[in-house]
Amino acid sequence: MNAYITTYSKKHINPLKPDVQDIDIKDIAHALSLSVRANGHFPEFYSVCQHSIHCCEEALCRDLDKNTALLCLLHDASEAYIADIIRPVKKHIPQYMDIEKTIQNTVYEKYSGAVPNEKELKQVKEIDDALLYHEFLHFTGEKLFDSEPIIKSNPDFSFVPFSEAEKKFLALFKILS
């Protein structure tokens, strides 16, 4: 069995040892546009790509710098190369978390120039959690946290065809990089 996956652009990537040369923003945008949030448990299709776009837009509405907005756009890029695992389970699989972190840091290094610092990671997580809360509130009526995170943007959680989400992701990437 091969130790790699074949991406949309036909590149071979070893998820255990990703080579920065093989990371491709088009592969990331495409795969995330076809990846579903909430492990498929929302009543309609809502992609990781849409979520990433909304996180990026929230960062921009908060007047954060372009690099932090780029980090928000890319924060789930590892999911283009390995499938995501739901939060309650993921925290019990440290080896998966190490693999995910390696891929994610490779993406950050390629497109942001460095692994994010603690302040940047905190900002990205805060925005990610805020969007997570509002996505679940919108799709399920469930409030995931005791206090509602404030969002400054106005995310549209309606269905977006994957090709449109992919194009918007790439357009935002081009503006921010």
Any domain includes 8: no
Any domain includes 9: no
Task: Find the range with the poorest average confidence among 7-11, 29-33, 86-90, 163-167.
Answer: 86-90
CB 97 within 8 A of CB 90: yes
Any domain includes 4: no
Indicate which CATH number applies to the domain containing 135. Answer: 1.10.3210.10
Any domain includes 44: yes
In this prediction, residue 2 carries a pLDDT of: 79
Model confidence over 92-129: pLDDT tens digits? Answer: 999 999 999 999 999 999 999 999 999 999 999 999 99
- Report which residue type is found at 54: H
In this prediction, residue 172 carries a pLDDT of: 98
Domain count, the chain: 1
Any domain includes 10: no
Mean pLDDT along residues 79-87: 94
Any domain includes 163: yes
Domain extent at residue 74: 23-176
Burial of 130 (0-12, 13-18, 19+ CB in 10 A): buried
Model confidence over 131-156: pLDDT tens digits? Answer: 999 999 999 999 999 999 999 999 99
Any domain includes 164: yes
CA distance 50 to 100: 20
In this prediction, residue 80 carries a pLDDT of: 98
Any domain includes 17: no
3-state secondary structure of 157: coil
Mean pLDDT along residues 37-42: 95
CB 27 within 8 A of CB 80: yes
Q: Is residue 1 pLDDT above 80, yes or no?
A: no
